[in-house]
Chain A
Amino acid sequence: MRVVFIELAKYIFAFFIAFYVAASYYGASSQNENIRKKIYIFQNILMFLFHLLGFLLLYQLNSEDIKYLIFYFAQFIYLFVIIVVYDVLYPKASRLLVNNMCMLLSIGFIMLARLDYDKAIRQFAIAIAGTIVTFFIPWILKKMRCLKSIGWVYCAVSLGVLVAVLFGSAVYGANLVLTLGPVSIQPSEFAKILFVMFVAAMFNKATSIKQIIIVTIIAIVHVVVLVVSKDLGAALIFFVVYIMMLYVATKKIGLCVAGLVSGIAASVLAYFIFGHVRQRVTIWRDPWTTIDTTGYQICQSLFAIGMGSWFGYGLAQGLPGKIPVVEKDFMFSAITEEFGIIFAVALILICLNNLILMMNIASRCKTLFYRLVAVGLGVTYGFQVFLTVGGAMKMIPMTGVTMPFVSYGGSSMVSSLIMFALINGMYNMRQDEGELNESAGKSKKNKK
């Protein structure tokens, strides 16, 4: 009977998320406000059912341990509060973005609770704290008009923490963590937001040749510091984000192509200079000959994805624990193993939906600063998802970045919450949609 329950559940999971994704794209393209509101509620119902089913299964499979149900209710309230708070305080924020965030959070919570209950509790606590703090971000964004004029402050802080990290303690062969008393944070997670703010502020001021050279030099310093501290994933993100922001600011495609080409040249150089860069590439090209040592992790990830097939093994039926650091860098593999390929494709599409929503607000910002911030955060998010998903399935070398909202990690969680709050803040600052449509309609009539 137990197996029947698990088997049925995995089809229901796939069914839920498929409908959820369809609703996301329909909602993003629909012009009708009333239909959109219905879609958002439909999405919320799907999400809560998904979340409930996931925890019911975990409760059942862990010999009906009541702690899973308590944990579930706490999360239910948490997700519910997020949706209500945004709806009440920031009615013009993107409900779709809020829904997607909650969906990703619930997937992450279920998977993490299945992998390691104690870590899930920690993650949940950090998520609550982070969410409460980030509730203020849209308000701050609206009130503080000086944000666009303190570019060098962002730069000083982000470079400061990144350099500090070079002297920090070592975790998994990479010096990525800064320990302050009982708290250890991963500064690159926050530096990437500060970096985006810095570049946006600088280009908002001017896009003269001199300014471009100054900002480019600072960007190179960031990337080099990250490569030396072996945080290759973050280095790549900073690089790509900078190129894209440069493109939007200058509107010169040639400049970006030149930037990309020099970036590729620099990567080749880094390949020959740094052993750890070379090692990543070697593992990527052939993990099988070193399956018992350096290739072990990625091979286990490939087994997990390959064994999952279309509908997965069923929740808590796989062996994702075989992948070292699964809860951080290989969450995607664990999800694919147990929820299946269809679910994983849907997950990729939800992330793409988020990116489109971010680019959507960017394209409609009048002020270059806000447009650049939205573009920078969007590219940061999108490229990070690409690195973690592509790396887990060996499409590209593994760079060890997390999947926003889904992977375990306090810094990653908080920085993702900040990013989404900033984007929602920008949505919240827009003119009323209804007014826009009305005035547009009026002008057409006037023309007639």
Chain B
Amino acid sequence: MNQQERARKTKNKKPHDIYENRRKSLRNHETNVISFLFIGLFLTMAIYLVYFNVAVAPKIINNPYNKMIDTQQDKVVRGNILACDGTVLASTQINEEGEEYRYYPFSNMYCHVVGLKSEKTGIEGIANFELLSTDGNIIKELGADLQGKKSRGNDCLTTLVPSLQEAAFQALGDNKGAVIAMEPSSGKILAMVSKPDYNPNDAAQKYEEWLSYDSSDSVLLNRAIKGLYAPGSTFKVMTALEYIRENNAYGNFSYECDGSAYVQGGTTIPCFGQTAHGFENLTDAFSNSCNSAFSTIGCQLDLEKFKKTCEDSLFNQSLKIGMDTSDSSFELNANSGISLVQETAIGQGKTMISPIHNLMIISAIANEGIMMKPYLVDTIQTSEGTVLKKTQPESRVQICTSDEASTISDLCRSVVMQGTGNLFRNASYEAAGKTGTAQYDSSDNAHSWFVGFAPYDNPQISICVILEGGYTKVANAQQVAKNVLDAFFG
């Protein structure tokens, strides 16, 4: 009783008391609502931060603008880049003065695909973060630190096959161009060569000089992924795909070729060497690479649908394969002029494609229409070989149905059996593919293409070769591809 009185007294003494008596209402409803709103908001932030760290950060931090990675070099010895069989392609060595330098034992052979450490190109760029990371064994790191030593970065085991890389490097000779080979079912890149090339061991002295070359002579440009060329007749794969998609009765197709085709309102398209192919069905026209037939087919296509088919196959799109690629372009639409339609259907016109994209398309044909995402880094492992991270094959898009892929695949096989792919006719393996010749100016020089895969009924390897115009000592791109596939199956 006494206490209560005292409590009342003190209460009366304090007219400023702003408190609500707890007995009446413990909490105000509205402020509770606001509290819970903010608790939700802040917990979302905390969860997002953890999510960012786990799921987003690993994808974004490997960026040339991220200078933090470079500071790791003070603590970590950059790991090795290895071929699929463990052959060392790049390693960190110590020179007489005790300074670290990057050594590339194969000199020019892997220069573009392995890249330059100093410029973070190629795999040196793709795996930059991993090469400078340690497996996270703190005790070992602290131990190394106590001894005043650097810890050893992780190794990067690539998908590259040394024998195939060498075959591609030799087959290309001194010509400008590129060769890429891939496993169509997984996207593993087995070989990637681009020429002209450079010796990465000379980068410290010569890089500035290399930078000064014109783009057409650039040794630094990786033509395999960054080059853009008119696809020439290899584009007939796309034209044929669209034709069979729009015409269920494509088996009834027939055309009488007299060596050139003129379409009212358009232009005259000659066949290669003005050859008259005579009476053809679709298989004949494809395997003869008949420009007259295909430019005529082009004029029968629904151009908006054609554009969609191409864009579904990543024309006018970013390839998004984690490499520094150029985007391919396809410019037909419903308003295009007839001559542009004719030219586009045979791979001329304004269409441009990168060799890696052309390879991805032919690989999708070889893989039941599913385009796999090409990759170079197979495994990240410690220097002792403990696997830390393994790349899982990933599909990029489905470009056509399995039936459509099988039809195109048969057409590609007929190219070898009865058409322009004659170099493969007597090979020990059953190859399929498409040849191409792409004019790029008014001279007789033309780029030579070959895209293909083998064995055609169970593809283990797909290949794309581009030989820039003016090539010597080799018949054409098909010849280069043959040399590489011979090495693969030999």
- Contact residues of A with B, CB < 8 Å? 1, 3-4, 7, 142, 145, 244, 247-248, 251, 288, 291-292, 296, 299-300, 302-310, 313, 318-319, 322, 336-337, 341, 344-345, 348-349, 351-352, 355-356, 359, 362-367, 370-371, 375, 378-379, 382, 385-386, 389-390, 393, 395, 426, 429-432, 435-436, 438-440, 442-443
CB distance from A140 to the nearest CB of B (A): 12
Partner of A319, one of B3, B7, B41, B71: B71
Q: List 17 A-B contacts (CB under 8 A).
A: A4-B146, A299-B63, A303-B65, A305-B53, A306-B60, A307-B69, A352-B42, A364-B19, A364-B20, A365-B18, A375-B30, A375-B31, A386-B38, A436-B21, A436-B22, A438-B3, A440-B22
CB-based contact B19/A430 at 8 Å: yes
Contacts of A426 on B, CB cut-off 8 Å? Answer: 18
CB-based contact A440/B23 at 8 Å: yes
Distance of A299 Cα from B66 Cα, bound (Å): 8
CB-based contact B57/A429 at 8 Å: no
User: CB-nearest residue of chain B relative to A251?
Assistant: B30
CB distance from A341 to the nearest CB of B (A): 5
CB distance from A177 to the nearest CB of B (A): 29
Distance of A308 Cα from B68 Cα, bound (Å): 10
User: CB-nearest residue of chain B relative to A309?
Assistant: B53
CB distance from B74 to the nearest CB of A (A): 10
User: CB-nearest residue of chain B relative to A313?
Assistant: B68
CB-based contact B17/A348 at 8 Å: no
Partner of B38, one of A300, A341, A382, A439: A382
B interface residues, how many (CB within 8 angstroms): 53
Q: Is B48 an interface residue (CB 8 A)?
A: yes
Partner of A306, one of B27, B32, B35, B52: B52
User: CB-nearest residue of chain A relative to B136?
Assistant: A309
CB distance from A199 to the nearest CB of B (A): 14
Most B CB within 10 A of own CB, among A306, A352, A366: A306
Partner of B57, one of A306, A319, A439: A306
* Further pairs besides A356-B39, A359-B38, A363-B32: 15, Cβ < 8 Å: A4-B145, A299-B65, A303-B65, A306-B52, A307-B69, A344-B49, A345-B50, A363-B35, A366-B20, A375-B31, A375-B34, A379-B38, A430-B18, A430-B19, A436-B22
Q: Is B475 an interface residue (CB 8 A)?
A: no
Distance of A367 Cα from B14 Cα, bound (Å): 14
Q: Which of B1-53 contact A (CB under 8 A)?
A: 3-4, 7, 10-11, 14, 16-23, 27-35, 38-39, 41-43, 45-46, 48-50, 52-53
Contacts of A436 on B, CB cut-off 8 Å? Answer: 19, 21-22
Q: Is B138 an interface residue (CB 8 A)?
A: yes
Distance of A359 Cα from B43 Cα, bound (Å): 17
Q: Is B388 an interface residue (CB 8 A)?
A: no
Q: Which 3 A-B pairs have the closest CB atoms?
A: A306-B57, A363-B28, A363-B31
CB-based contact A352/B38 at 8 Å: yes
CB-based contact A371/B42 at 8 Å: no
Q: Is B56 an interface residue (CB 8 A)?
A: yes
Distance of A395 Cα from B49 Cα, bound (Å): 9
CB-based contact B53/A363 at 8 Å: no
Q: Is B423 an interface residue (CB 8 A)?
A: no
Distance of A131 Cα from B63 Cα, bound (Å): 44
Distance of A345 Cα from B17 Cα, bound (Å): 37
Distance of A306 Cα from B62 Cα, bound (Å): 10
Partner of B35, one of A351, A359, A435: A359
Known: A303-B63, A319-B67. A355 touches B42 (CB 8 A): yes
CB-based contact B34/A244 at 8 Å: yes
Contacts of A306 on B, CB cut-off 8 Å? Answer: 52-53, 56-58, 60-61
CB-based contact B65/A300 at 8 Å: yes
Q: Is B142 an interface residue (CB 8 A)?
A: yes
Distance of A438 Cα from B6 Cα, bound (Å): 11
Known: A4-B142, A386-B41. A378 touches B49 (CB 8 A): no
Distance of A390 Cα from B17 Cα, bound (Å): 38
CB-based contact B38/A248 at 8 Å: no
Contacts of B33 on A, CB cut-off 8 Å? Answer: 247
CB-based contact B138/A7 at 8 Å: yes
User: CB-nearest residue of chain A relative to B66?
Assistant: A303
CB-based contact A442/B4 at 8 Å: yes
Contacts of B63 on A, CB cut-off 8 Å? Answer: 291, 299, 303
Known: A344-B49, A356-B39. A378 touches B65 (CB 8 A): no
Contacts of B32 on A, CB cut-off 8 Å? Answer: 359, 363
CB-based contact B68/A303 at 8 Å: yes
Contacts of B48 on A, CB cut-off 8 Å? Answer: 390, 393, 395
User: CB-nearest residue of chain B relative to A439?
Assistant: B7
CB-based contact B31/A439 at 8 Å: no
Contacts of B60 on A, CB cut-off 8 Å? Answer: 288, 302-303, 306
Please, what's the 1-or-0 string for B235-253, where 1 marks a CB less than 8 Å from any CB in chain A?
0000000000000000000
Partner of A291, one of B21, B49, B58, B65: B65
CB distance from A355 to the nearest CB of B (A): 5
CB-based contact A431/B19 at 8 Å: yes
Known: A302-B60, A395-B48, A430-B18. A3 touches B30 (CB 8 A): no
Distance of A341 Cα from B4 Cα, bound (Å): 51
Known: A142-B16, A356-B39, A442-B4. A348 touches B49 (CB 8 A): yes
CB-based contact A305/B17 at 8 Å: no
CB-based contact A367/B18 at 8 Å: yes
